[in-house]
Amino acid sequence: MNFTQMHERLRLELLRRIQRGTVSVSLLGRQTGFGQAHLSNFLHSRRQLSLEALDRILTAQHLTVADLLPSAQQLEPETKGSGVCAIPVVSQSVALFEPVIRPTAIQSLLYLPAVALESVHARISGARRAWERFVAVRIAAVDAPPMDPLLLPQAIVLIDRHYNSLLTYRPNRANLYAVREGSRLAFRYVDFLARRLVLRPHNLDFPVSLIDVDPEESPNELLVGRIALILNEL
């Protein structure tokens, strides 16, 4: 990774944090001593920062150069030649909010046949095109009961973040989605009715839940991705 690539990855990471609300331009200015106009020009790609300035921002945001490196999917091209893809297993927060998966955010790797992933169809909208496509998360015990027996505690699910469409993937079969519900993921079948996402469980002992969608917001933005594979532990 050269200086320009590191520069761009830091810019995207800061924009992601601003979007999440974990930092603002004014707070970043107070942390680093830079003026807001100076930082705004950097964030909007109107100017570059010096190496010293980059170092001050990394320190202020508790980042390292390793956090800006390409993810394991990009660092291990030899897996493609062997017919295997390495999918990062990450936390719910990372799957929700991070377009580019940082190496330090990877909990483990899930190895899957490349040919199987190549056959998976995408239906993508908005800025999601710039996101790394496949991530995996582990199902916590609290998240499993509404989807029992489809999802079991400690199952690993593969999320296709390039499928955030409500159109069915296969005829006569409901899509299972990872959905943004506050700051967590919910795993449900989803419909869109009267400006609300309707989240339906597999286990009918649990209630349907609703998420209001703002008029300016697309329901697709609440869909983190389609669940493309479920690996329940034996």
Q: Count H helices, E strands: the chain?
A: 8, 9
Backbone φ/ψ region at 195: left (φ over 0), alpha (ψ -120 to 50), beta: left
Residues 87 and 141 in one domain: yes
Domain boundary among 12, 45, 68: 68
The pLDDT tens digits of the residues spanning 211-220 come to: 999 887 888 8
Mean pLDDT score, 176-198 = 93
How many domains is the chain partitioned into structurally?
2
Domain boundary among 68, 94, 111: 68
In this structure, what CATH number is given to the domain that contains residue 20? Answer: 1.10.260.40
Residues 182 and 133 in one domain: yes
Residues 60 and 170 in one domain: no
In this structure, what CATH number is given to the domain that contains residue 112? Answer: 2.10.109.10
**Residue 90 C-alpha from the chain's centroid:** 9
What is the C-alpha separation between 82 and 84, in angstroms, rounded? 6
The pLDDT tens digits of the residues spanning 84-117 come to: 889 999 999 999 988 888 888 899 999 999 888 9
Residues 171 and 123 in one domain: yes
Residues 196 and 97 in one domain: yes
Tokens 């029992």 belong to 148
Which strands make up the sheet holding 184-193, listed edge to edge?
Answer: 108-113, 84-89, 134-138, 156-160, 223-231, 176-181, 184-193, 196-200, 209-212
Would the pTM of this model clear 0.75, i.e. be above it? Answer: no
State the pLDDT confidence band at 73, using cuts at 50, 70 and 90. Answer: very low
pLDDT of residue 138: 96
Residues 7 and 88 in one domain: no
pLDDT of residue 1: 59
pLDDT of residue 65: 78
The pLDDT tens digits of the residues spanning 135-184 come to: 999 999 999 999 999 999 999 999 999 999 999 999 889 999 999 998 89
List the domain range (segments joined by +) for residue 42. 3-68
Residues 17 and 131 in one domain: no
Q: Is the model's pLDDT at 200 over the cut of 70?
A: yes
Residues 50 and 83 in one domain: no
Q: Is the model's pLDDT at 229 over the cut of 60?
A: yes
Residues 105 and 144 in one domain: yes
Domain boundary among 18, 37, 68: 68
Residues 6 or more apart in contact with residue 183 via CB below 8 angstroms: 93, 96
Residues 11 and 55 in one domain: yes
Residues 126 and 185 in one domain: yes
Residues 51 and 98 in one domain: no
The pLDDT tens digits of the residues spanning 20-52 come to: 677 889 989 999 999 999 999 888 888 888 888
pLDDT of residue 64: 81
